[in-house]
Amino acid sequence: MTRKNTLSRFKENEREARRTLIMDSAEKVFSNSPFDRVSMREIADDAGIATSSIYTYFPNQDTLFVEATLRNTNALIDELNSIIESSADEHLLERSINTFIEFISKHDSYFRMMVLFMTRGNLNPEALAKLNEMVRRGLDVFESIFSKIGYKGDIRMLAHFFFASLNGILVTYRKLPGRSEDQVLAHMEEVGRVMVDLILAKCE
């Protein structure tokens, strides 16, 4: 490898590290304040960089929010697709529910950021279109799960119900008082098994 190529790779790694730093800080700030109350200065302060530096990587706050969201959502979708490929049909639904709950539990800032956005967010049309496409991809994954287990009914509507119900479980029980993290996780997964029974009752 030539010196020029080595330098180019170093710069690219440095650029990617800076993007990651900014998205990490954005996720943290967005998870603590509604989207419409966050400023780029707050994100820059958390990252320890100049506000102007953020604009080198992200043209506006809406784009930064979407990119931070996509990073986590893509990771979750990858995990669910892996479950679909590797699970026997009779265990697929429960494993998918548990994977979703466990992923969100490990990425609490991401979840809080999304909850705040869903109640207070207002993106520009371009960013909103990207976010809607991300949601559609998630619903497509859920549809794949229901098709594989032989669900008899409107699988798109079930995907919407499934997504809303999983988020409802997390909002309701994620910070259940008087329980350890393991106990909370076990309880959420137990509630999830009620969904499994209800859905499997309409399968072949």
Structure confidence by residue, pLDDT tens digits, 178-192: 999 999 999 999 999
pLDDT tens digits, 102-130: 999 999 889 888 887 877 667 888 988 98
This prediction's pTM: 0.86
Long-range own/partner contacts, residues 75-79 (CB < 8 A, 24 or more apart): 75/103, 76/100, 76/103, 76/104, 76/138, 77/137, 77/138, 77/141, 79/103
Average of per-residue pLDDT across 44-68: 93
The string of DSSP codes covering 136-183 is HHHHHHHHHHHHHTTB-S-HHHHHHHHHHHHHHHHHHHTT-TT--HHH
Most distant CA pair in the chain, distance: 63
Q: φ and ψ at 203, to 5 degrees?
A: -105, 165
Listed by start position, the domains of the chain span 61-200
pLDDT tens digits, 124-172: 889 889 888 999 999 999 999 999 999 989 999 999 999 999 999 999 9
The domain 61-200 is placed in CATH, from the list 1.10.357.10, 3.40.50.80, 3.40.50.300, 3.90.1150.10, at: 1.10.357.10
